[in-house]
Structure 1
Amino acid sequence: MTATHAAPSRTPLHALHAAGVSVWLDYIDRTLVQSGELARRITDDALTGMTSNPTIFEKALSQGTAYDAQLAALSVDRTPWAIFEAVETDDVRAACDLFRPTYAAAKGTDGFVSIEVSPGTAHDADGTVQEARRLWATVDRPNVMIKVPGTPAGCVALRRLIAEGLNVNVTLLFSCTAYADVVEAYLSGLEDRAKAGHALSLVASVASFFVSRVDSEIDKRLDAIATPEALALRGKAAIANAQLAYQLFRERFSGPRWDALAANGAQVQRPLWASTGTKNPAYSDVVYVEALIGPHTVNTLPPATLDAFRDHGTVTRTVDTAAAGAARAITQIEALGISLDAVTDQLLIEGLASFQKSFDSLLSGIEKKTALLAKQKSGQ
């Protein structure tokens, strides 16, 4: 008798996918990819993509021994930076291969794995483009997505990269103003590509709008004001801000300009909700998933949030059902003297600094680990 495997039971994650939300995993490491765990999650958790960043790779490389053999081999003639890029691109390439059937089934609209340019290029458009091209060529998979920061220089790079046909994930977006600039750069890049006579249908992009960090910062300011009105607004800023961004998404991807691009096969640049792990233990551990459900969106979930939503998440369309309430919440917060623009500007600066710190720590960790491995080998 031939052995059979039971089909995975439907979970809230499958319902989330059915509601138009692509469920991505905000984590990567070699053991996850090579052990079969990622393949299982693609089926059992309805995963359709994956994101990475320097902080995630720093954690992956510092734990366990999965990378030791490759680190030891590469350390003979490579710098820590070159070692990291080799390790990173190997992991991303392997993950891309696991998501390739998803990419094919979605006809090039899903199944992506993101890899980030160096944080050091955040304010250098030419440097971002050069590094993005190199990573694109090195990974050499149609479903890799290059992450660039949502800075003014990043927007310049985005337009050029989209025109060249690269998939791009624009990260560290905190404000609707910055998001509007990203959408403009994406549309202009598609128009540049169309004018050059190139196909648009396989060029994909997401705009990663960060959520929970906004609440963390706004809530601190509301706590400092400490009036009943201020305290009642805790936990409302981040979701309202993201819901307003979704309104902007629907406005910009409609009308004559977009219709002309869509007629040539262009894909919408989907909003991706990032930083959706709950940082305040007083809030639900799935609040930043449940409040942002709607079509043409992506939610990239840390493993703990993914597990929590599988266990007790509820699915109903929420991202655009309380637009007036979202605008009102922001108005009330600003009426208390809290500038959302000032907060989001600060969060971008802090986000760039955090990624740079993780990147520097990552390279230092590689240097220390390769030295330790060499010492262990010489002592054998």
Structure 2
Amino acid sequence: MENNKVKQIHDYGQSIWLDFIDREIIKSGALQRLIDEDGVRGVTSNPAIFEKAITGSSDYDADIQQLSAEQADLELLFYQLAIADIKKAADLFKPLYNQEEVEGADGYVSLEVSPRLALDTQSTIAQALRLWKEVDRENVMIKIPGTEEGLEAIRYCIEQGININVTLLFGLDRYQAVTEAYISGLESRHNQGLPINNIASVASFFLSRIDVLVDPMLDEKGLGELKGEVAIASAKTAYQLYKDIFSTERWRRLEAAGAKPQRLLWASTSSKNPAFKATKYVDALIGPDTVNTVPLETIEAFRKEGTLANTLEFDVDKATDTLQRIKAAGINLDDITRQLEEEGIQKFIAPYNKLIDAIEQQIKRL
């Protein structure tokens, strides 16, 4: 499968991670095949993914039955189930993580703190430290939402030497605040004489949800030709910021001590609008030192109809112009990204609550 398009994305410096996990994909060998044949280089999970995995199969029943006898706290029980999967997946990716050419840039599996804690700094820190310790794999990332309350948790966890996947990013200002949290966490650690060459982080920009919200507004303003372009314009602008931030003198000092840049990760990259090509958000944002986390169906679509090109720095002026035009039309992206962050938290809390309820029902049934 040498001409596999998904695998070839890596030739452009971008890593494809899978936005999915369950026991079946690990047990059946399907995840190993994705690593071998498609060149998949990591896995991301979230509460909605685990909710589907645990409620959608009987694979977890025996463990639920056994763990419920010793564990009354349903949230802790869920994390025991999730951690078992995360460990197995992390072990599959360990050979990739250990490869010299990768140097710890890939081979990561992400596990998210409870979405109920998205606005609680101290509880997020406490849970992130606990999960990191319990998973006990150096190629794991703990996911922390990039909320205002999450920023200090991100900074502190980086200082503690934990790999962090910053999730639920929508706006450029918040993205800059996240890079500041990462860099200052590394500086603080470095100043204590602790190693910083073994820490990795990604900043996960959520894309298609931006267009879902903005596109109807564009129609109202007579800017219909920009539909499906605002999220991509934001991402391209974020990448220019990334290049600036990680080439300063301040960064060079950390880099000299072995620090790795916090890569941008494109998330929510399956098209929500049936009028768009299924691989739209993958095609448009291929470029060096980035990650794209995609669901299985988008991987399958890219194999068939994906377009391979170094597109991330195409039409940067057009991206800037797009953002200026929507601002001039009175569409306030700051308000939109704030709304998306609030909705994003709720979109993770709802399946998480459903998951905890389902585990409770399962226990009663078993």
Same fold (TM over 0.5): yes
How many angstroms apart in 2 are the aligned matches of 1:300 and 1:82? 27
The aligned runs of 1:49-60 (5 Å cut-off) are: 49-60=42-53
Q: 2:89 aligns with which of 72, 78, 95?
A: 95
Q: Which residues in structure 2 correspond to 1:221-370 (within 5 Å)?
A: 221-225=217-221, 227=222, 230-370=223-363
Q: How does 1:190-209 map to 2 (within 5 A)?
A: 190-209=186-205
Structure 1 length-normalised TM: 0.94
CA deviation string 1:188-227 (max 9, x = no partner): 01111110101111100000000000000001212344x3
5+ residue gaps in structure 2? none
Q: 1:126 aligns with which of 119, 122, 128?
A: 122
Residue aligned with 2:274, SS: coil
Cα distance in 1, alignment partners of residues 256 and 76 from structure 2: 42
Match of 1:186 among 182, 185, 191: 182
Question: Which residue of 103, 108, 128 corresponds with 1:107?
Answer: 103
Distance 1:269 1:244 in 2: 16
Q: Secondary structure at the match of 1:319?
A: coil
CA shift for structure 1 position 337: 1.6
The 1-side partners of 2:253 and 2:292 are apart by 28
Residue 9 of structure 1: CA displacement? 3.0
Structure 1 partner of 2:5: 12
Aligned-residue offset at 1:107: 2.1
Q: Which AA in structure 2 matches 1:268?
A: P
- Tell me, yes or no, if structure 1 residue 145 matches structure 2 residue 141: yes
Note the C-alpha offset of 1:10.
3.0
Kept in 2, the 8 Å contact 1:20–1:296? The answer is yes
* 8 Å CA contact 1:168, 1:204 repeated in 2: yes
For 1:88, give the aligned amino acid: A
Q: Which amino acid aligns with 1:216?
A: V
1:34 Cα deviation (Å)?
1.4
Does residue 161 in structure 1 map to residue 157 in structure 2? yes
Distance in structure 2 (CA, Å) of the matches to 1:62 and 1:190: 39
Deviation at 1:321, TM superposition (A): 2.2
Code of the residue aligned with 1:176 in structure 2: it is L
CA-CA distance at 1:77 after TM superposition: 3.0
Residue 241 of structure 1 contacts residue 326 of structure 1 at CA under 8 Å; is this kept in 2? yes
Instruction: Please give the alpha-carbon distance, in whole angstroms, between the structure 2 residues aligned to 1:233 and 1:261.
Output: 40
Report if aligned partners of 1:109, 1:202 keep a CA contact under 8 Å in 2.
Answer: no
- Report 1:22-101 matches (<5 A): 22-78=15-71, 79-101=73-95
Q: 2:209 aligns with which of 198, 209, 213?
A: 213
**Once the 2 structures are TM-superposed, how far is the Cα of residue 303 of structure 1 from its aligned partner?**
0.8
Give percent identity, aligned residues only: 46
SS at match of 2:58: coil
Larger radius of gyration: 1
Equivalents in 1 of 2:207, 2:293: separation in Å?
11
Letter in 1 for 2:194: H
- In structure 1, runs of 5+ residues without a counterpart are 1-7, 374-380
Q: In structure 1, what is the Cα distance between the partners aligned to 2:260 and 2:238?
A: 18
CA offset at residue 270 of structure 1?
Answer: 0.1
Q: Which amino acid aligns with 1:174?
A: F
Aligned residue pair count: 363
Q: Tell me the distance in 2 between the aligned counterparts of 1:262 and 1:322.
A: 30
The list of structure 1 runs, each at least 4 consecutive aligned residues, that deviate by more than 4 angstroms after superposition, is none
SS state of the match for residue 232, structure 1? helix
Q: Could you say what secondary structure the match of 2:41 adopts?
A: strand
2:172 alignment partner, one of 168, 176, 190: 176
Q: For residues 101-145 of structure 1, give each alpha carbon's deviation from its aligned partner in whole angstroms, at most 9, with x where no partner exists.
A: 010012212100000001122122211111001000110000010
Q: CA–CA distance in 1 between the matches of 2:142 and 2:119?
A: 16
AA matched with 1:36:
G
- Provide the TM-score with structure 2 as the length reference: 0.97
Task: Name the SS of the counterpart of 1:188 in structure 2.
Answer: helix
